Chain A
Amino acid sequence: MKIRFWGIVLTAIAVSVGLITLLGYFVNVPVLLGLRLQFVAWASILAAVAVGLGALNLLGVHLKKISDQSGGWLYSIFLVLSLLGVIGASMAAPFLGMGSGPANTTNAWVFKYIVAAVGTALSGLLIFFLVFAGYRLLRRRPSVASVTFLIVALVSILGMAPQLPELPDLGLRDLWIWISQVPAVAGARGVLLGIALGVIATGLRILLAVDRPYGE
Chain B
Amino acid sequence: MLELGFVFLFAILIGVFTALGRRRGARPAALRPVEALQSLPDTVGQAVETGRRLHISLGSGTIGDMDTAAALAGLTVLDQISAVAAVSDKPPVVTTADGTAMFLAQDTLRNVYERQNASQRYDPTSARVAGLSPMSFGAAVTTMIKDESVAGTVLVGSVGPEAVLITEAGSRANINTVAGSSDPSAQALLFAAADNPLVGEDLFAGGAYIGRLPAHIASLRAQDVMRILIGLAIVVGVIAKTFGFLP
Contact = CB atoms under 8 A, between A and B. Distances in A.
B109 to A, nearest CB: 12
Interface residues on A, range: 35 or more
Contact of B99 (A57, A75, A198): A57
Given A46-B100, A132-B168, A213 B219 contact: no
A40 to B, nearest CB: 9
A192 B12 contact: no
B245 interface: no
B227 A197 contact: yes
A176 to B, nearest CB: 15
Contacts of B9: 200, 204
Contacts of B149: 71
Contact of B139 (A122, A190, A214): A122
Contacts of A118: 135
A55 B102 contact: no
A152 to B, nearest CB: 10
B102 to A, nearest CB: 6
B226 A130 contact: no
A112 interface: no
29 contacts: A26-B5, A47-B63, A47-B99, A47-B100, A53-B102, A53-B103, A54-B129, A55-B129, A57-B129, A123-B135, A126-B164, A130-B193, A133-B189, A137-B191, A149-B191, A149-B192, A194-B200, A195-B201, A197-B227, A199-B182, A200-B8, A203-B69, A204-B9, A208-B215, A211-B76, A213-B75, A214-B104, A215-B107, A216-B111
Given A47-B99, A133-B167, 20 more contacts: A26-B5, A43-B64, A54-B98, A54-B129, A58-B131, A61-B129, A71-B149, A119-B133, A119-B135, A123-B135, A126-B165, A133-B192, A191-B199, A198-B73, A198-B182, A198-B203, A201-B219, A204-B9, A213-B75, A214-B104
